[in-house]
Amino acid sequence: MYTVYLTHLNKVLKTVDKRTVQNLFSFLHARNYIKYSSTRMRQHLAKLEGKATFDMNDRCTTIVENLYNVGLAKVMARTRYTPDVKTSMDSMIRALKVTLKESIGKQAWLGAASKSKAKNKVDKTNVKYGIDLTDTELDALYKDFTVYPGKFASSFYNFYVQNKRFYLRDLNKSRKTWRWRFSMTGPVAFYVSDLNEVEIALGMLREPVIGDGYPGYYNFGNLGFIIGHELSHAFDSQGSKFDAQGNYVSWWTQAEVNAYKGQVQCIIDQYSNFFDVLAQKNINGTITQSENTALSSGVAQAYKAYKKWRKTHNEKPLPNLGLNEDQLFFLSSTQLFCRKYTKAAVLQQLTYSNGPMTWRHVGAYQNSAAFAKAFQCKPKDFMVPKKRCLVWQ
């Protein structure tokens, strides 16, 4: 997507004079501030952008989230980063690392030396969630942030400038362990290849992802799937190019690299054959390959971890649903991402590396023999493909 954009941008820049480009940059810069200025200016901007008005809630929450992210994380951590949550997270992370290492051990195309390196990479993957920062440390971080009573724009500008300094002042210093690459507060989780790190933001540490007394099939289907998915990104088409320390180095033999490409090609072909009726287009299996690889592996790891956990824990399926525990595991794992989209939204998602939410999951469950067994699918059913893509399973 970005290559296409940059190619077009290059063509446009060659035909437009420099003054126009300069004006555009000045306007884009100013536009970021207009939202935070007077009502009259905001009305002009809204008109220009074809909006009825700017949402004030959106304006204020965006400022706090973007410019005071660590402080906000500290506040959220009071309710989200509790000893109970920490215990649940740590045991879930341990369980998912074990199943992923077992899956790595089963890959016939991977030699013993690379298997050992891959397992070491799983051990070294730093899974971050919550925040370990004292109030005193937090106060020191924000000591230059000033609120001027009655002067919203000045206060905003001060926060904006200080926030830039906040992230620049530690350049060339060793990385602070509490520092995150992405937002610490949103409902998001990421894998960062060059740090070999999983970041699970505080927005994820709440219902419906995690909660007191939830059944095992629910926890493993939700949180387990998220953790398994992010850990698996260390071995997708991109993540696999980085070693356990996050260095961009090749740690596989050429024969293994070729064999792995074949494994991923299966996923590319599988997703490229999905046709979205609403958008009247096929999924782009190439740009979504990393996500889809991590999803297929993630659900497999979470299911295996759940089955292990179940051996030593007693629980009953939820009453009145007529579904067994395995079915509830898969049902739980889809709920968080179950959404309804307009055609325009699907068309936009087709250009993203994540792809439309529905197809992401359909592909992952097609690749799961456990899913087909749980729902007693027949050999020619849609959810039972002729060939399953079993990378990292």
Q: Which residues make up the interface to Zn ion (CB under 5 A)?
A: 291, 294
Q: How far is the CB of 294 from Zn ion (least distance, A)?
A: 5
Rounded CA separation 256/122 (Å):
18
Q: Is 310 left (phi over 0), alpha (psi -120 to 50) or beta?
A: alpha
Residues 6+ apart with CB under 8 A from 348: none
Q: How far is the CB of 190 from Zn ion (least distance, A)?
A: 8
Q: How far is the CB of 28 from Zn ion (least distance, A)?
A: 30
DSSP output for 286-338: TTTHHHHHHHHHHHHHHHHHHHHHHHT----PPTTS---HHHHHHHHHHHTT-
**Quick one: tokens of 285?**
């299996």
Give the count of alpha carbons within 13 A of 276, CB side only.
27
Of 243 and 291, the one with the shorter C-beta distance to Zn ion is 291
Of 192 and 294, the one with the shorter C-beta distance to Zn ion is 294
Of 22 and 351, the one with the shorter C-beta distance to Zn ion is 351
Of 246 and 298, the one with the shorter C-beta distance to Zn ion is 298
CA dihedral 23, 26, 32, 37 (to 10 degrees): -100
Of 131 and 294, the one with the shorter C-beta distance to Zn ion is 294
Q: How far is the CB of 229 from Zn ion (least distance, A)?
A: 5
Q: How far is the CB of 204 from Zn ion (least distance, A)?
A: 13
Q: How far is the CB of 236 from Zn ion (least distance, A)?
A: 8
Of 159 and 235, the one with the shorter C-beta distance to Zn ion is 235
Q: How far is the CB of 279 from Zn ion (least distance, A)?
A: 21
Of 105 and 187, the one with the shorter C-beta distance to Zn ion is 187
Rounded CA separation 295/302 (Å):
10
Helix (H, G, I), strand (E, B) or coil at 257: helix
State the greatest distance between any 2 C-alpha atoms of the chain, in Å, as a whole number. Answer: 71
What is the separation of C-alpha 250 from the centre of its chain, rounded to a whole number of angstroms?
24
Buried b (16+ CB within 10 A) or exposed e, 200-237: bbbbbbeeebbbeebbbbbbbbbbbbbbbbbbbbbbbb
